[in-house]
Amino acid sequence: MAKRKSYQDLLKELDMSRLPRHIGIIMDGNGRWAKKRFLPRLKGHIEGVKAVRKVMELGVELKLEYMTFYAFSTENWNRPKDEVQGLLRMLKERLIEEIPELNQHNIYVQFVGSRERLDPAYLEELYSIAAETHQNDGMIVNIAFNYGGRQEIVEALRRLASEKSPEEMKNLSAEQISDALWTSGQPDPDLIIRTSGEYRLSNFLLWQSAYAEIYITETLWPDFDKSEFAKALIEYQRRNRRFGGLSK
């Protein structure tokens, strides 16, 4: 059996001048990872946090600009109540634990998502914890929390409608909608990574991903390490990005 390449060896295959500016990651497979090991689903989510750390470490090493992690969707409220409560608790606890390392790596963390259905006090706690990284000017990490792409577009249009006249709304541009989204001011993702072999976006960055390259891997999220991340970047660089034009 061929020896598995280390991430350092894989990085040698990359053109560092053609790295994606913004990468979105749909972190799927925590529950299946736990089930395969006869463990509680929450254990899979805990292991998934470790994968986030590894990916962010490589992002810092490569000097990536933006990463967006799909942490909790607007549809995840349909999961069992104990799992949802465990996820909410774990998110806050892990974020508190990671603040020193985030600051050490100069990472700026922010939440993107809807405020609906969330306890305002809990949400303010999260924002306050994340604000401890807001003196940093390195890689920006978006945590897509209580996030849904359709909800994002709806809320953006509602906000624009409250600020603009009917005539202005008739002449609304794509740029104006982009500026009203939760990712306002950031470049659209160049690459979307989805783990666990599912072939769908699951309501993630729908507007922003219009021309993103999509990379699917069978690897379950807790097993997604620096080598797996490097493979995704290598595949991205093999793609011919046409943005609706003709092949070169």
Looking at the annotation, which residues are catalytic?
Answer: 28, 76
Q: CA 110, CA 130: separation in Å to the nearest integer?
A: 6
Listed in sequence order, the residues at least 6 apart from 140 whose beta carbon sits closer than 8 Å to its beta carbon are: 65, 66, 67, 107, 108, 110, 186
Q: Are 121 and 76 in contact (CB under 8 A)?
A: no
Sheet with 213-216: list strands edge to edge.
108-112, 140-147, 66-73, 22-26, 191-194, 213-216
Q: Token digits for 99?
A: 């603040």
Q: CA 175, CA 178: separation in Å to the nearest integer?
A: 5
Q: CA 232, CA 192: separation in Å to the nearest integer?
A: 9
